[in-house]
């Protein structure tokens, strides 16, 4: 069994705020006078979201956002990640702090520094809560268009709130050159995945594992080549799947879908990207060739330049020897 840290990887679904190192989380909580956010178990998505809000509220200064971004680059490089697309809730932070552009500007500055220092390529996806207004999504799109490093936008959060109100803004974002990636099929069923693809124009779906419950949705994903950003440990931690072994990832692969391996919220699961590949190896009996195929799928499903995709793929071939 080959070293999974050495496997060149693309990381497509991870929330920047949820990559904070334990020491940073503790220091921020102490500074802000709040309890250190726990790791669960959670009694539903809302409890998990409230925990995340506690941590995000501790991020206040440009230095907070900058350092988080630099450390993200260092930690990804240490996991063998060659390319990452990190998700960030820029407009929410900006509105909270009374300076719409500051958090994203600080993150971009940190990512530029971190990439130079650690040799990893990172791009940004800006997400928007389904619970928030259309106007906030418009502001998110405006922020996204201001930086070359931001490659896309998408809706996330509680799937009880429909995507339909945002469809017009999403079409405008796509026309302006942004890519679309939505969270769906995580806490809601396969119809949420269908909505993300047909109404939201999703080119990839964050999570999406519940698509397997409806053959027609599986067929839709397969026909359109929409990749799924699967996050096994996150789904278990949030109580959406009973165990890693019970996760439908093997069924998604058997159905001919494009599956990628991701961490989502590593500060909650305690698992970085190479460890997620190790989970797939142990829980599903995948061999090195299977894991290499997942790494190649992640690179090909990314929004990286063709040269970066090719570099990752060649690296995977060398890993296999």
Query: What are the residue numbers of the active site?
Result: 186
Write out the two tokens for 141.
């799109």
HEC secondary structure over the chain: CCCCCCCCEEEEEEEHHHHCCHHHHHHHHHHHCCCCCCCCCCCCHHHHHHHHHHHHCCCCCHHHHHHHHHHHHHHHHHCCEEEEEEEECHHHHHHHHCCCCHHHHHHHHHHHHHHHHHCCEEEEEEEEECCCCHHHHHHHHHHHHCCCCEEEEEEECCCCCCCHHHHHHHHHHHHCCCEEEEEECCCCCHHHHHHHHHCCCCCEEEECHHHHHCHHHHHHHHHHCCEEEECHHHHHHCCCCCCCCCCCHHHHHHCCCCEEECCECHHHHCCCHHHHHHHHHHHHCCCHHHHHHHHHHHHHHCCCCHHHHHHHHHHHHHHHC
Main-chain dihedrals φ then ψ at residue 179, nearest 5 degrees: -90, 155
Q: Which residues contact 24 (CB under 8 A, 6 or more apart)?
A: 67, 68, 71
* Token pair listed for 241: 């799947």
CB 7 within 8 A of CB 319: yes
Separation of alpha carbons 273 and 256, rounded Å: 23
Separation CA 100–CA 166 (nearest Å) = 20
CA 183/CA 191 separation, integer angstroms:
12
């Amino acid at each position: 069994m080959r070293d999974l840290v050495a496997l060149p990887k693309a990381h497509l679904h991870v929330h920047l705020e949820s990559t904070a190192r334990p020491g940073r989380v503790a220091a921020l909580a102490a500074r802000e006078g709040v309890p250190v956010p726990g790791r669960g178990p959670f009694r539903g998505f809302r409890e998990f979201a409230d925990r995340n809000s506690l941590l995000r509220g501790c991020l206040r200064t440009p230095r907070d956002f900058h350092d988080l971004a630099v450390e993200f680059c260092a930690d990804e490089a240490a996991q063998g990640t060659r390319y990452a697309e990190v998700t960030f809730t820029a407009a929410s932070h900006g509105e909270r702090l009374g300076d719409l552009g500051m958090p994203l500007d600080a993150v971009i500055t940190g990512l530029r520094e971190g990439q130079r220092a650690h040799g990893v390529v990172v791009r940004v996806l800006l997400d928007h809560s389904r619970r928030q207004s259309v106007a906030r999504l418009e502001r998110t799109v405006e922020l996204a268009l201001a930086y070359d490093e931001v490659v896309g936008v998408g809706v996330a959060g509680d799937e009880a709130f429909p995507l339909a109100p945002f469809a017009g803004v999403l079409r405008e974002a796509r026309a302006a050159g942004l890519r679309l990636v939505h969270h769906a099929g995580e806490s809601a069923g396969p119809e949420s995945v269908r909505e993300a693809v047909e109404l939201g124009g999703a080119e990839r779906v964050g999570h999406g594992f519940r698509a397997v419950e409806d053959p027609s949705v599986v067929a839709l994903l397969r026909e359109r080549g929409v990749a799924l950003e699967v996050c096994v440990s996150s789904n278990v931690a949030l109580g959406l799947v009973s165990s890693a072994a019970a996760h439908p990832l093997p069924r998604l692969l058997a159905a001919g879908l494009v599956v990628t391996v991701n961490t989502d919220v590593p500060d909650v699961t305690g698992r970085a990207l190479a460890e997620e590949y190790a989970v797939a190896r142990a829980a599903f009996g995948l061999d090195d060739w299977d894991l290499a195929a997942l790494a190649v799928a992640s690179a090909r499903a990314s929004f990286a330049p063709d040269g970066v995709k090719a570099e990752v793929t060649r690296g995977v071939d060398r890993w296999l020897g």
